[in-house]
Chains A and B, each alone.
Chain A
């Protein structure tokens, strides 16, 4: 079974990712992870999250993928041993220093090679196999031909990115952040200088940022290549983004494996993904070398998404108990989707407060309200503006 692997920046995001269909999540601790700006997980959080994931027969991988400086090595052994005792399923690593410690300490979690290593060919994957890796996250620069060649000539599981932001550089080989902002890109501090503007010929419009990645059109090909894991980028994304993207890819993979994937279904999920994204996307390196259409020239003016209207907390006798997220009102057409519910829309006819006071407008974030729904919904379902609109 091909795995859908979701990011999770904290416990809350982890819970939503798993509920919405992710087979595994990758997370970072307070130390040694490349997303220092995510909330990240304490040891207790990791313990709780692993226990929750395992109760659902799902997995947790922990990123230990900074490039270590001497001083970072001091507490590494204790950290790795603690994670191993907790029962995390794999370490995602990029520094051979970490691999050597994992092996020497004879720790149980698998070794996954981070995309920071930019593994782009079969010989590199063989190198990591010899080092004890059971899985290699391929460089995002790999083409379809690269992936096929690697799969046919190696035994490691292959993990590929399918959705989210892209580095402009080969991963791990960029220190623009270090030089321009004094933040260490390879130790969790990347300031994304590749999304800044540069002056050329006296004008400040030179840019090098790439559009995001979306592989929704190529999931059947990735399945047929024999990739083991489909990775979604974005440990700092919202729960709505994570739930929507995980749910969309999980449904496409499932349909692909069931031979029920139609063009209509694919187009629908593309629409879902495009609505939740705040930047344009493209398949990038999979089917051709990227050029002007894969680059992003509109600066940092990303689109704020207001689609997410509410979360369902409970359901009783035709009424959903909800927590509001964005404004909506009686008379609006709204849509409910969930881990076990295909999207269904309806016109909202009735809304009230918990004490029964009638409301016309839901305009207070996090407010608890009750709405009348024409079909059964469940806790964790989400309400949004209809995708087809």
Chain B
């Protein structure tokens, strides 16, 4: 099954299950949805939401009544902060911890405490993903097509740089690491800064090997051309024929592993 994290308010564009980023409690998306908007959309179609920020004291205070309302109208809550597992109805939780769920024991440990929906890391190899699938009863999700989130900071990294250089600038910028020349996107919002891979990560060509796993498509941070192509082909195994994609980690074990340091 496909889930699309939408990037604009024209909800009718999406045939699949939609995931709406909750306003004020999510970060790194193009568009956010308020409680009122979610309520309205939920009266017309099934709604899932994502809350991917870490919660601090005041966030917990303000989000609790919002979640209390949403518990009855939202289908699934994709959440990053484990603390929210105490607020969201357990059967509606999808644990969405960036780059954290990397092995089947961890997935099973969550399953055994009643968290049965888990988003697994998308910089694992296909063999690792298949091994997790084979060894768990949990309902697995993975981000199949997105500009991968590589780092999430509570700091305002662009504002600070502009202050340091006494300049002004946009809150979303293209940057390149100087040695590798890897292109990245940096995006600052009210509650922090996120850095993304500027190439679209896609595991589309492995869809047939990953039966039983739910796929998440995140449309944020793509340019118009990229988004059009992804919207048209996100279910297709040959997406890579239409757009330049990054699938390095799906077929390459990362070289600097703990065992190699022995």
B249-A181 in contact (CB<8A): no
Contacts of A117 on B, CB cut-off 8 Å? Answer: 82
Majority secondary structure of chain B interface residues (helix, strand, loop or mixed): mixed
Contacts of B157 on A, CB cut-off 8 Å? Answer: 168, 208, 295
Contacts of B235 on A, CB cut-off 8 Å? Answer: none
Name the segment of B2-10, B217-225, B252-260 touching the other chain.
B252-260
A124-B83 in contact (CB<8A): yes
A69-B151 in contact (CB<8A): no
Any A CB within 8 A of the CB of B47: no
Any B CB within 8 A of the CB of A49: no
A121-B103 in contact (CB<8A): no
Among B161, B177, B258, residue most surrounded by chain A Cβ atoms (within 10 Å): B258
Q: In the complex, which residues 142-194 of chain B have their Cβ closer than 8 Å to any Cβ of chain A?
A: 148, 150-157, 159-161, 163-165, 173-180, 182, 184, 186, 193
Question: Which residue of A33, A120, A145, A170 is within 8 Å of B152 (Cβ)?
Answer: A170
Among B58, B164, B165, B186, residue most surrounded by chain A Cβ atoms (within 10 Å): B164
B110-A96 in contact (CB<8A): yes
Residue count of chain B within 8 Å CB distance of chain A: 71
Question: Which residue of B112, B123, B182 is within 8 Å of A180 (Cβ)?
Answer: B182
B258-A178 in contact (CB<8A): no
Question: Which residue of B105, B148, B179, B197 is within 8 Å of A101 (Cβ)?
Answer: B105
A168-B109 in contact (CB<8A): no
Any A CB within 8 A of the CB of B261: yes
B102-A180 in contact (CB<8A): no
Name the distance in Å between B67's Cβ and chain A's nearest Cβ. Answer: 11
B54-A141 in contact (CB<8A): yes
B175-A198 in contact (CB<8A): yes
Contacts of B124 on A, CB cut-off 8 Å? Answer: 69
A123-B87 in contact (CB<8A): yes
B178-A69 in contact (CB<8A): no
Name the segment of A199-207, A254-262, A319-327 touching the other chain.
A199-207
B81-A121 in contact (CB<8A): yes
B177-A73 in contact (CB<8A): no
Q: Given A173-B99, A175-B123, check contact A295 B258 (CB 8 Å).
A: no
Question: Which residue of A71, A96, A145, A178 is within 8 Å of B123 (Cβ)?
Answer: A178
A289-B176 in contact (CB<8A): no
A70-B104 in contact (CB<8A): yes
Contact with B along A260-285 (1 / 0, CB 8 A): 00000000000000000000000001
B105-A122 in contact (CB<8A): no
User: How long is the Cα–Cα vector from A120 to B154 in the complex, in angstroms?
Assistant: 11
Q: Given A187-B258, A198-B176, check contact A210 B103 (CB 8 Å).
A: no
Q: Given A189-B257, A196-B179, check contact A295 B56 (CB 8 Å).
A: no
A31-B262 in contact (CB<8A): yes
User: How long is the Cα–Cα vector from A339 to B128 in the complex, in angstroms?
Assistant: 50
Name the distance in Å between B153's Cβ and chain A's nearest Cβ. Answer: 5
Contacts of B182 on A, CB cut-off 8 Å? Answer: 179-180
User: How long is the Cα–Cα vector from A331 to B184 in the complex, in angstroms?
Assistant: 56
A168-B105 in contact (CB<8A): no
Contacts of A73 on B, CB cut-off 8 Å? Answer: 103, 105
Q: In the complex, which residues 158-187 of chain A have their Cβ closer than 8 Å to any Cβ of chain B?
A: 168-170, 172-176, 178-184, 186-187
Q: Given A30-B262, A188-B261, A292-B163, check contact A179 B150 (CB 8 Å).
A: yes
A123-B84 in contact (CB<8A): yes
User: How long is the Cα–Cα vector from A36 to B254 in the complex, in angstroms?
Assistant: 15
Q: In the complex, which residues 278-321 of chain A have their Cβ closer than 8 Å to any Cβ of chain B?
A: 285, 289-292, 294-295, 297
From A147, which residue of chain B is reached at the shortest CB distance? B57
Q: Given A121-B83, A178-B254, check contact A291 B259 (CB 8 Å).
A: no
Contacts of A118 on B, CB cut-off 8 Å? Answer: 54
A126-B86 in contact (CB<8A): yes
| Interface size class of chain A, counting residues whose CB lies under 8 Å from the partner chain | 35 or more
Name the distance in Å between A368's Cβ and chain B's nearest Cβ. Answer: 34
Question: Which residue of B150, B161, B259 is within 8 Å of A206 (Cβ)?
Answer: B161
B175-A206 in contact (CB<8A): yes
From A209, which residue of chain B is reached at the shortest CB distance? B157
Q: Given A173-B151, A175-B151, A291-B159, check contact A183 B258 (CB 8 Å).
A: no
Q: Given A96-B109, A121-B60, check contact A291 B156 (CB 8 Å).
A: yes
Any A CB within 8 A of the CB of B131: yes
Contacts of A186 on B, CB cut-off 8 Å? Answer: 99, 102
A295-B100 in contact (CB<8A): no
Any A CB within 8 A of the CB of B31: no
A175-B160 in contact (CB<8A): no
Question: Which residue of B55, B150, B164 is within 8 Å of A175 (Cβ)?
Answer: B150
Question: Which residue of B103, B164, B179, B193 is within 8 Å of A69 (Cβ)?
Answer: B103
A142-B56 in contact (CB<8A): yes
Name the distance in Å between A171's Cβ and chain B's nearest Cβ. Answer: 10
B56-A121 in contact (CB<8A): yes
Any A CB within 8 A of the CB of B75: no
- Residues of chain B touching chain A, judged by Cβ–Cβ distance below 8 Å, are 54-60, 81-87, 98-100, 102-106, 108-110, 112-113, 123-124, 128, 131-132, 135, 148, 150-157, 159-161, 163-165, 173-180, 182, 184, 186, 193, 195, 197, 249, 254-259, 261-262
**Other than the known A120-B56, A123-B82, what 14 A-B pairs have Cβ atoms closer than 8 Å?**
A30-B261, A33-B258, A70-B103, A96-B106, A101-B105, A121-B81, A123-B81, A131-B113, A142-B56, A178-B150, A184-B258, A198-B176, A200-B174, A291-B156
